[in-house]
């Protein structure tokens, strides 16, 4: 080993997908050590929660994982409902599942498109992914008026019932996207160049995954079949039949493939839910301001992994303490283990396969 060179990758670098700074120790073009440096996007979100009413904080959850705002809304509302013992109408439960799974699908589409671009596939897969994503973004715009930081979930239900023809729009999207998934497999999954760039790159073993508390598609790609929707069902997920995709090697290709397969499973869940939405009002008649006492922790299956909200209340209109368990933060911790001994271009591949969002890491 010769003299080591320190390479500062980021915090403004296209492959870091946000303001992430990686301090790389290099022996030529081989990564010897990697230290992620965070904090460039810190906004004191948890402290803000402690100075807002329970309802006022909902829009701030959109800004955590801004590719999965609906899922963040849902996790926080479930925590408040557990804390305050608020019941949710069945119709709202079904709508929550439908919207959360559609958001999971479009989040994974972005992950797949940007990962392919990181590996040099240029713009075609990215444009295909955003083309498909746009169909659901249009739907989200019609139900909540947002195209990125969506805000639809409410404490006790949702903000409003779905507009007319929404069910048909969703059914049409499911039929369309299933055909597109075949195209993604032809375009990327078994492409010789894509396989060469991602197979056996950044292998995450089961032991390392557990030691870093890795969750979500990253964990399942390593062969561990753990999904909170199955293990600790919430919002009526126990009523739906779906599989939990897992990988075999825990490499970058497996992480890509698990997300692609999860899109198919999300469509499967939505198809079941859309055909059985019960009648009723999905908007609960609850107060806009609450007083709470006690503590509650709820974890949900975010597109990037386990998202947890821990709330402590002492009788006021806002929580005394709010702690957020961010999946991207824990997943990023394993990066140093995965890139050691790899070429720097493969380090870009590994980071892209992790699908992190800096907004929820820094909070």
Q: What pLDDT is stored for residue 232 in this prediction?
A: 95
Residues 18-34: what's their mean pLDDT?
92
Residues 62-71: what's their mean pLDDT?
92
Q: What residues pair up with 126 in beta bridges, in sequence order?
A: none
Q: What pLDDT is stored for residue 227 in this prediction?
A: 97
Please report the DSSP string for 269-322 in residue order.
HHHHHHT-PPSS-SS----SS---EEEEEEEEEETTEEEEEEEEEESSSS-SEE
Residue 155, judged by CB atoms within 10 A of its CB (0-12, 13-18, 19+), counts as buried
- Out of 2-6, 100-104, 212-216, least confident range: 2-6
Residue 17 clears pLDDT 90, i.e. is over it: no
- Identify the structural domains of the chain with CATH numbers, from first to last: 42-330 (1.10.645.10)
Give how far Cα 37 sits from Cα of 22, 69, 73, 140, Å.
6, 25, 28, 34
Residue 47 clears pLDDT 80, i.e. is over it: yes
Residue 334 clears pLDDT 70, i.e. is over it: yes
- Reported as a pLDDT band with limits 50, 70 and 90, residue 83 is very high
Q: What pLDDT is stored for residue 2 in this prediction?
A: 67
Q: What pLDDT is stored for residue 101 in this prediction?
A: 98
- Reported as a pLDDT band with limits 50, 70 and 90, residue 102 is very high
Q: For the stretch 8-25, what's the b/e string if a residue is b when 16 or more beta carbons lie within 10 angstroms of its beta carbon?
A: ebbbebebbbbbbbbebe
Q: List pLDDT tens digits, range 132-164.
A: 999 999 999 999 998 988 999 999 999 999 998
- Reported as a pLDDT band with limits 50, 70 and 90, residue 363 is confident
Q: What pLDDT is stored for residue 185 in this prediction?
A: 92
SS3 157: strand
Residues 260-275: what's their mean pLDDT?
96
pTM: 0.95
Separation between Cα atoms, residue 50 and residue 59, nearest integer Å:
14
Q: What pLDDT is stored for residue 71 in this prediction?
A: 96
First to last CA, the chain: 39
Q: What pLDDT is stored for residue 298 in this prediction?
A: 97
């Amino acid at each position: 080993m010769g003299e080591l060179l320190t390479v500062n990758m980021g915090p403004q670098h296209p492959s870091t997908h946000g303001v992430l700074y990686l301090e790389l120790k290099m022996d030529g073009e081989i990564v010897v050590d990697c230290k992620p440096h965070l904090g460039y996007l810190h906004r004191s979100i948890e402290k803000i929660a402690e100075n807002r009413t329970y309802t006022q904080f909902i829009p701030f959850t959109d800004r955590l994982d801004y590719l999965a705002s609906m899922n963040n809304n849902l996790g926080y509302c479930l925590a408040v409902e557990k804390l305050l013992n608020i019941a949710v109408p069945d119709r709202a439960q079904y709508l929550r599942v439908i919207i959360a799974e559609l958001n999971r699908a479009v989040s994974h589409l972005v992950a797949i498109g940007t990962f392919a671009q990181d590996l040099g596939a240029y713009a075609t897969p990215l444009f295909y992914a955003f083309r498909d994503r746009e169909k659901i973004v249009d739907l989200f715009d019609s139900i909540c008026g947002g195209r990125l930081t969506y805000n639809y979930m409410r404490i006790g239900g949702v903000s409003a019932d779905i507009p007319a023809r929404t069910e048909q729009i969703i059914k049409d999207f499911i039929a369309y996207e299933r055909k597109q998934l075949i195209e993604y497999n032809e375009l990327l999954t078994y492409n010789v160049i894509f396989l060469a760039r991602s197979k056996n790159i950044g292998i995450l073993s089961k032991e390392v995954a557990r030691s870093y508390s890795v969750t979500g598609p990253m964990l399942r790609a390593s062969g561990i079949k753990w999904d909170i929707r199955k293990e600790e069902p919430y919002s009526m997920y126990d009523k739906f039949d779906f599989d939990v995709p897992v990988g075999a090697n825990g490499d970058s290709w497996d992480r890509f493939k698990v997300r692609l397969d999860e899109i198919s499973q999300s469509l499967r869940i939505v198809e079941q839910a859309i055909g059985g939405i019960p009648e009723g009002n999905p908007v609960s008649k609850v107060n806009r301001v609450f007083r709470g006492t006690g503590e509650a922790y709820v974890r949900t299956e975010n597109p990037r992994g386990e998202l947890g909200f821990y709330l402590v209340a002492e009788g006021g209109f806002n929580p005394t303490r709010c702690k957020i368990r961010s999946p991207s933060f824990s997943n990023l911790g394993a990066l140093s283990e995965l890139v050691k001994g790899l070429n720097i271009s493969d380090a870009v591949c590994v980071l892209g396969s992790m699908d992190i969002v800096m907004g929820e890491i820094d909070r």
